[in-house]
Amino acid sequence: LKLGVVPTFATRWLLPRLYKFNAVYPEITIHLETSTKPFLFSEHIFDAAIYTGTPEQIENWPGAKIHFLMNEDVVPVCSADLIFKYFPELKATS
């Protein structure tokens, strides 16, 4: 099974769970290919891909069958030094 995935999703979510899949289906070998760009089946040979996309983006993936997997929580992350550089008033409250 050749599967295209986003690197962070692969390392944080998928890889820690693959052993369960392998226990149930030991005869299936999974080949992962990672990319931060959308997987276009017309340009790459994949059996499936896991990627996030808006409804507008999904419309531009011709021939793909889309299945919702999960919601995603997006959290901004920044160093304290960078925050205080642009928002020095926050330093007094930390």
Domain spans in the chain, listed from the N-terminal domain onward: 2-93
Residue 8: CB partners within 8 Å, gap ≥ 6? none
- Extract the residue ranges of the chain whose pLDDT is less than 50: none
Query: Does domain 2-93 correspond to CATH entry 3.40.190?
Result: yes
Does the predicted model carry a pTM greater than 0.75?
no
**pLDDT score at 76:** 83
Q: Identify whether the C-beta of residue 61 lies closer than 8 Å to the C-beta of residue 53.
A: yes
**pLDDT score at 93:** 64
**pLDDT score at 71:** 83
